[in-house]
Structure 1
Amino acid sequence: MTATYGLFAIGEACVALPLSAVREVTPCPEPLAALPVSARGLLGAVNLRGQVIAVLDLLPEIDHGSAGHRVVVVMHHRDRLLGLLVDSVHGVTSPPALQQVGTHEHRLPVSHAFPAPTQEDEGRGIVSVLDVEALFALPGIPALREDEAGDGVFGADGTAADATDLAGSMLLVRCADHRLTLNIDAVHTIVPRVTVRSSPLRHGSCRGVTDYGGAEVPVFDPLALAGLGELSAGDTEGVAVKFRDGVVVMLLSEVLELIPASAGQRFTLPGVQVPGRRYLDGVVRVPGRGDFLSLSVEAILAHEDLNALSRLNTPPRHEGVPAPRAADDEESAGQSRAGGTYLTFSVGRDFAVPLEQVVEILPFPEQYSVLRAGDEDVLGLFTHRDTVVPLYRLSGLLRAGDPSLPAAYVLVVSAGPDGRVVGLAVHALRAIERSIWEDPAAPGEAPSGEPSLEQALARRRTIRLAAIGTSDEPRMLTRVDLSAVGAALVPDSPTRLTTTSSGTGILAPHAN
């Protein structure tokens, strides 16, 4: 059975601990209590519900920043407890293989290593697995015996939890006056400071965007999602939640602790009438801490809008842009239904595109390679995330508005299931809106095979949209199928370099 490890950041290093050795994670108090002993890396002690636990810093020369953003990982080994200072929690992983680390002369506090499992951690390169036994054996470090009368790591029936039980962990958080818990498996990392900026993506529970992992990612309010109220502007902590194709940051007031799932007792939630009832799956009673509402990770990860938002401005997977889902294919075929979520934008006139068709939204590039001088539709090429993206002016393709208006954004849309993408320049982003009525698809709107550009541009229909989260009156707009346009612009066929009369080149498909 593959072991499960918790991932933590210490300075610039990413380290791992077997989850079976992690008792819990708790914020580091300021100051730590003094101990009448001295040893390298020993910072002091923390009083955790009557348990005195020494706290060790493996990199004492590193400036860890504000104490409010540090956490203490409480480790247990042979009935003894020891705290380890870390800067952040980076979720859990089960590596397929480990490479042993060590020397013949000395036992190191690191036993194994493995490649960083996610793109967010790749800057650190490798993950070092800490040797728990070696940490407890460090000279001068007082590993204090666990109080038999204390909580310990016990199941709901009071029996000791075994290592397999510990593989499931819960993150305890506070959102305004509500205390919530969620399964740590869905957490990509804890984000200690979230600065939310307004964005056209703001709608429903989405509060805007924040900088994360070198990109702008959406931020959602779990209270708004579950119908429990709203977080305030002063709430600035969060966790990055892993969806199928990217991450979305869940805004919080405070991260409290990480505990084994077996340390709490779960109760069924009664049939309370709140709008987001399906996003709550019970109440967890944690001894010594009280009751927590349990967020349904399964329901959150299945949320249609959050899944669509997770693909915007998030790094693509290593195999390229994710292929559209079956539901996306239906959308491309013009079989959408009322209630769909749309991104509205302007190219001199306002249009709407199904949100799931947009892979990313980028600022218009400062530099790009011009392919055809003076062409209103074909702008050129630019590189993004090691991919060459063909760039077109959407106003010219749609024959709408003034093509001389400056472009401000690029909608990156999928041009096929094999990772092809195309960039479509637009003048402005409007909002995220939901349709309340859609004109039925015209007969024959979904021909077999890839449509021609003319056919793709003709895939339009009238829809009635209501702006989410506002009192604005619904409006009628034209829905366009940009996935079909992208597939027509970048066909799945060999390309060659041709020369125009102006002497500039353009990549074009072979003539039949």
Structure 2
Amino acid sequence: MTPPDDYSDALADTEQSSSEGFAPEFDGGDSSVKRVPDTPMALIDLGAAKIGIDVGDLREVMPAPEPLQPFQSSAPGVVGCVALRGQVVPVVDIAPMIGLPSCDQESGGVIVIIGNNELVYGVLARAALQIVQADRCVPQSICRDDAALIDRLLARLVLVNDEAIGVLDAQALPQLGVPRSRTVRHRDKAVMRDETENYLLFETDGTRFCLPLANIQATLPDAPIDRTVLSAGPSEGGVIHHGIERSLLNLARFLGMSSDTQLVPRASTILLSRPDAAPLALRADRVSDILSLRRADIAEMPSLLSSAPEMFVGVYMGADGGENYVLDGESLLAEPTLSAFGSLEHSVSLERSDRSKTNSSDITAENSMELALLVVAGAGCALEVEAVEEIVSADPAVAQRASGGNCYLGNITSRRGVLIPTFALASVLGQSVGHGSTLRAIVIIRRAGEQIGLLVDEICAFERMVVMSDGKDGGKKILQRRKGEDRTLWQVVQPQDLILNV
């Protein structure tokens, strides 16, 4: 794939600066092996191809306005700008620079904001697809011509589920002269109160917490809790993922907001990232939503509600009237007791960490693995992650129509203003719709080129599962869980098989 001639002059202008610090780093003396950071990667759809962006370079994703605002720049690829919370952000259409057709804005799209805490720019894309964990990205040793533009922009190549993905070097476009917007740190209070931040909503011991996404390193599937080790104070015991044992912290107990003495046998884990230190492992009984909150949406935290009110930004009252306690991620990271438990992270032997997997080695060796979204819609079922485009919280009115036995629930409006017909998945599958669930969500999938919303009772997990039957023989596609002692079978719901009538 050869980049267009339009960018040859810009490439020549940057050859000198590239030799001074822009060229990719290499391992040892082998120039064919690029260093790969141990971070997850976001997959971005450019229409004709996908590229990857290290999550550490990704700031946020916003809907692309139609049209973009004009922006005067002689830098290659700049097609306009957007206004993001009072800040002008230059936007680049990278697709023509790597030999692909330009991203078509007529069909909508997104702007992927890239950079650090001070300098950012935007990349025009068709969609942001999914986050892929670092251990699923297999680096490739490819001999490249580092003088070519495409090789400078996509400096690394990884294999994700047997698909070759070029990874964008976030510093490459600025080296080509693409302007970046400098974050204004000191604004008046009115502007500060209009700023929004994304939070992960989760529940522990019946208490709902919101934690800033910027502080989260990863979410891990539920696993057994070993109470024979690391059980003291806020720690419920040890939990093992991928050969690493961590102290599982109960925030509700530590913050004096839980009197529940019932011990759960297993739980999911949220890893709270700590610079230059092991992450904190927080217990999550369920992860239910991602919320975009303005400062003005968050009320002050009454000091009597917690033994440590300084750990909170405040309280957000949900649509159901329930309290959602908004945590201050930086305060949690600075808390010495929690930090002490975080430093107890250690590697464990294969015998302890993988005993159940060893018993099923014959299955996993012969069967392929697949990432799936596990949901409850009357009964448990799975959705292939490739078909899932977005998960949004369910409006109470939509959930009420489902409780009345309706299959078609009307239309919802996407963030880009597109009407999406929505159906109760349980009714479509001939199951009874769950009643009274506060965890309902709408999973937006693509079916025959169109977006469809499916109301589910609960989001269970994103998980890699064993393919027991691929469904190619005319039967149903069946996946099997492989975590802990859970070997349950889950049937895959294929979008094209759903009978949907308005």
Name the larger-Rg structure.
1
Query: Is the shorter-chain TM-score for this pair beyond 0.5, marking a shared fold?
Result: no
Higher fraction of helix? 2
- TM-score normalised according to structure 2 size: 0.34
